[in-house]
Amino acid sequence: NAGVTQTPKFQVLKTGQSMTLQCAQDMNHNSMYWYRQDPGMGLRLIYYSASEGTTDKGEVPNGYNVSRLNKREFSLRLESAAPSQTSVYFCASSEEGGNTIYFGEGSWLTVV
């Protein structure tokens, strides 16, 4: 029972490099989310996908793009990484209009 799976778990990037964080869920959920977590800031929503085929900006979307590849998968792309994007990234999913959101274990990203 995997739930929400994120890859990679750890990544170090140089400024200006690009990368994609992958996320997959096996709970047949319609809605998926990407959050970032920074010390003292709690979790902030980057983008979400209410259902397959739709994506919307959250609180902190600048510097990121997302793709809802299919119902299971929701990827987050950094086109040109900046040190300010050093953070822990969490993917999550819920039923549509979901009352409970389930989180992956996080991806630690460092941009140097």
Residue ranges binding other proteins (CB under 8 A): 4, 31, 33, 40-45, 48, 50, 56, 58-59, 90, 94, 97-106
Handedness of CA 49, 50, 55, 61 (dihedral sign): negative
- CA 43 – CA 104 distance, rounded (Å): 13
CA 20 vs CA 27, 81, 97, 99, 105: distances in Å:
22, 11, 26, 28, 16
Residue with Cβ nearer other proteins (57 or 77)? 57
Please provide the distance, in angstroms rounded to a whole number, between the alpha carbons at the two ends of the chain.
35
Residue with Cβ nearer other proteins (43 or 69)? 43
Min dist CB 28 to other proteins, Å, is: 17
Residue with Cβ nearer other proteins (73 or 95)? 95
Residue with Cβ nearer other proteins (17 or 60)? 60
Min dist CB 105 to other proteins, Å, is: 4
Min dist CB 2 to other proteins, Å, is: 12
